[in-house]
Amino acid sequence: MEPARTTIKRLYALSQNRCAFPACGLPIVESTGTVTGIVCHIRARNPGGPRFDKKQTAEQRHAFENLLLLCARHSKVIDSEPRRYTVARLQEMKSAHEKPTENELSVADGRNVDRLLIAYRDLYIHATKVYIERVEAQKAEFYNSGRPNVVAPDDAIGSDLLRRNYTKYLIDRYNRFASSQPDRERFAFPAVYSLVESRYGVKKWELIPMRHFEELCSLLRAKIDKTWLASVNRSKRRKSYSTLEEYRVKYFERSRPRK
């Protein structure tokens, strides 16, 4: 399910195409038509997400009252700090930002509304479709090979395609960096998996509860930072890994269907 176009149109009009975060004001859709903002849910769209309310209906989750427009940076901020950015605080933010207007949306504004809806589908619906397809492929692989695969519950890291892939990206990044240590003769690739799984008491890292996602990423990034290759990168002012937001942009750009 997704918000109705009329809902997105109302959000766009009342926000005047600006981020709702106090004193921000960045555009949601650039003058070039590039969508840099996000349609955000006050109460999360999926179980395990920030401020998720299981009592909400699907219609209520996608209703105007549960949505606000934020730039990518502040979308990340509110979801990373749910104790600070509570439902009440976000509702106040929305109320203070959105202003009634008598102006009709222009044709260009209408195109921006459509772009926002397409971006929403890319971020949530298309990603979910890709995840489901991968789960089905895993089931087929299990049937054919007898090797078990992980299908994560709704409140686990593995249930969120973006966060699952980003975690795997950090794990793979660490394995590559650690295996390149000049003083290391042999490197055990499963070691980081064992460390992560023992720390959180689960057999597979995909089953780690979503509330530990930020902590897990910090742990993995810290391990990468301690490697010799990361120190070389720092001396040359090069990054050793992408942030979640940088990874999201790269990932969803690749995932967006071609027209």
Phi and psi at residue 156, to the nearest 5°: -110, 160
Instruction: Tell me the range of 15-24, 96-105, 198-207 where mean pLDDT is highest.
Output: 15-24
Q: Which DSSP symbol is given to 181?
A: -
CB 146 within 8 A of CB 38: no
Confidence of residue 144 (pLDDT cuts 50, 70, 90): very low
Q: Determine the Cα angle at 43 with ends 40 and 47, to 5°.
A: 105
pLDDT higher than 50, residue 134? no
Confidence of residue 138 (pLDDT cuts 50, 70, 90): very low
pLDDT in tens, 86-132: 999 999 999 999 988 776 788 888 999 999 888 888 777 544 444 44
pLDDT of residue 142: 42
Delimit the domains of the chain by residue range: 5-125, 157-255
The Cβ-side half-sphere exposure at 61, using a 13 Å CA radius, reads 17
- 25 compared with 194, residue with greater pLDDT: 25
CA 80, 115, 110, 56 torsion-angle sign? negative
What mean pLDDT is reported for the chain? 81
pLDDT higher than 70, residue 202? yes
pLDDT of residue 207: 87
Helix axes 107-120, 5-15, angle to 10 degrees: 120
Average pLDDT over residues 30-45: 91
